[in-house]
Structure 1
Amino acid sequence: MTSVLPRPVAATEPVARPRHYVMCRPEHFEVRYAINPWMRPGEPVDRERAVAQWEALRQTYVDLGHRVDLIDPVPGLPDMVYAANGATVVDGVVLCARFRHPERAPEAAAHRAFFAAAGYPVVEPRFVNEGEGDLLVVGDVVLAGYGFRTDPRAHAEVAAVFEREVVPLELVDPRYYHLDTAVAVLDDATIAWLPAAFSPAAQEELRARFPDAVVASPADAAVLGLNAVSDGRHVVLPAQATGLAAALRERGYEPVPVDLSELLKGGGGPKCCTLEVRS
């Protein structure tokens, strides 16, 4: 029997590293209010299908060798499946979220209790921030979105808590109401993004910092293709974002398509469902 050895990874190729994620099963998922342009309360939601799609996403992470912990869903909080919005974790320190909309406000307490019970130091914010929805870690820098949800005054809090440079970026298209719908962090030095989602000043900032960024097409962004999760090599993204998947493949990344079409009805994709714990 002939054995086939894995192909060596070239020094210039993207390299995966194990990640630690927190997710929340969508047992109570529904669209009963509208706080972003994707949400249409009259549109039916197939919860059973949403759970199956979410489970496929969770299994994808496990199959890729990542750790996935689960936070218990709370009845009456249908958006809790979008776990990335509940906190930001850097160097083992948890900065809790403070939600702009009252419909989601109780989620913050659930995340605070979860991380406190797990022994993490937890910091309560003064100003509105919506976790990794608007705070994306790229290497030693935190990209910080504002314009629709997170209060710009929260950026100084983020810098003080994590002792990292924070780069404010203004979002201007309501369809991309969180930073993680317009930027995907691919590794510690590379992003994919949609320039039109940002103000001219923010576009200039991102082009200067990431001249080799992957630019997504409007069509791929419109299916939340940029709401993706990367381990440095494998990029888990919506299956409908075929053009972005091809562009990532050309750059040496391995796209891993998943179908989260039911959860898209609430305005979320893979990244919204995935909070990274950086210890």
Structure 2
Amino acid sequence: MNLHIKTLENDARRRRAAHASILMCAPHHFGVDYIINPWMENQIGRTDVSRARDQWDNLRRHLSGCANLAFVTAESGLPDMVFTANAGLVLDGVAVVSRFHAKERRPEEGLFRQWFDRQGFEIAAWPEDVAFEGAGDALPDRARRLIWCGHGWRSSDLAPRLIETIFDWRTVGLKLVDPRFYHLDTCFCPLPDGSLMYYPAAFDEASLAAIRAVAPAEKRIEVSETDALGFACNAVEVSGRIFLNACSDALKTRLAAAGFAPIVTPLSEFLKAGGAAKCLTLELNGGALS
């Protein structure tokens, strides 16, 4: 193919892909049907389906007022498909489809790949034998043009290097050591002004040193264990508004001082499966939605 024509086609694909900002999946088949993280312990069959739908709808309504939304069709037998953050990593029109660590979620891969392809995203190659769980473990930080990559529970420690090769963005690998915080987005949230909201005890010492080396003290918002267990870091920021499951008064004050407006959208039913606002969304432009 002529290089100029290929470039024009790729540009057109990126423009189409960039039209929507956030991908969601309705919780038609959501529930806790198996155990693949500590939050799921003793929760099988205990989901209030009606409440889950209401909580998801509430988050959707909030987001629809400030972002473009796209939806992937929920499939029976895939209760975790609602957590679209794990569909893959999207940056500048390119998608890396996840390679799930847990066998229960692997059937989602083909469905998400089909959706990305139909929407015109360029799909990057990824090794079959390297676990990677998308934007659950890879968080773009546009303020610094880097990608924070979590590993240790779900994604391989090889993932940061591969992500850097695909996107040509600097990556910083962070090792997760607490099984309750099995994905990076459960305990870490980069914000568009360069601030980082995170729970220090979720990381090993080398990772904490890496965070401190990148972000100055005034930009590091350390959350308490209470806020961490409420999945405060599992947040979605849109145009200065931060949507999250729970937020203490102290954290609200800190976020407000940084120029953000925290908006609590309770998602208790989804916490039973180990997810909240960020897990329920995938940013399709790979960064701040402002």
Query: TM-score, normalised to structure 2's length?
Result: 0.87
RMSD of aligned Cα (Å): 1.5
Q: Secondary structure at the match of 1:252?
A: coil
Partner of residue 3, structure 1: none
* Counterpart mapping for 1:29-48 below 5 A: 29-40=30-41, 41-42=43-44, 44-48=46-50
Alpha-carbon contact 2:26-2:74 (below 8 Å) kept: yes
Deviation at 1:245, TM superposition (A): 2.4
Identity in percent: 37
* Counterpart mapping for 1:172-187 below 5 A: 172-187=177-192
Deviation at 1:220, TM superposition (A): 0.3
2:162 pairs with one of 135, 157, 162: 157
| Structure 1 counterpart of 2:208, one-letter code | Q
Structure 1 unaligned regions, length at least 5? 1-17
C-alpha separation between the residues in 1 aligned to 2:159 and 2:261?
34
Query: TM-score, normalised to structure 1's length?
Result: 0.90
Q: Deviations over 1:242-268 (max 9, x none)?
A: 442232112221001101001111000
C-alpha separation between the residues in 2 aligned to 1:208 and 1:184?
17
Partner of residue 139, structure 2: 136
Partner of residue 8, structure 2: none
Q: Deviations over 1:127-169 (max 9, x none)?
A: 1110000000001100000010101112222111111111110
2:225 pairs with one of 218, 225, 238: 218
Partner of residue 227, structure 1: 234
2:213 pairs with one of 208, 212, 228: 208
Alpha-carbon contact 2:245-2:267 (below 8 Å) kept: yes
Q: Secondary structure at the match of 2:99?
A: coil
Flag the 1:158–1:58 CA change in 2: closer, same or farther, 3 A.
same
Alpha-carbon contact 2:234-2:279 (below 8 Å) kept: yes
Q: Does 1:67 align with 2:68?
A: yes
Q: Secondary structure at the match of 2:197?
A: strand
Q: Which has the higher helix share?
A: 2
Out of 119-128 and 135-144, give the one that drifted further: 119-128
| Structure 2 counterpart of 1:46, one-letter code | D
Deviation at 1:232, TM superposition (A): 4.7
Structure 2 unaligned regions, length at least 5? 1-18
Partner of residue 116, structure 1: 117
Deviation at 1:71, TM superposition (A): 0.4
- Figure out how many residues of one structure are paired with residues of the other and give that number: 261
2:203 pairs with one of 194, 198, 206: 198
C-alpha separation between the residues in 2 aligned to 1:72 and 1:123?
22
Deviation at 1:240, TM superposition (A): 5.0
Partner of residue 27, structure 2: 26
Q: Secondary structure at the match of 1:49?
A: helix
Q: Deviations over 1:88-117 (max 9, x none)?
A: 100110011000000001111111000101
Deviation at 1:239, TM superposition (A): 3.0
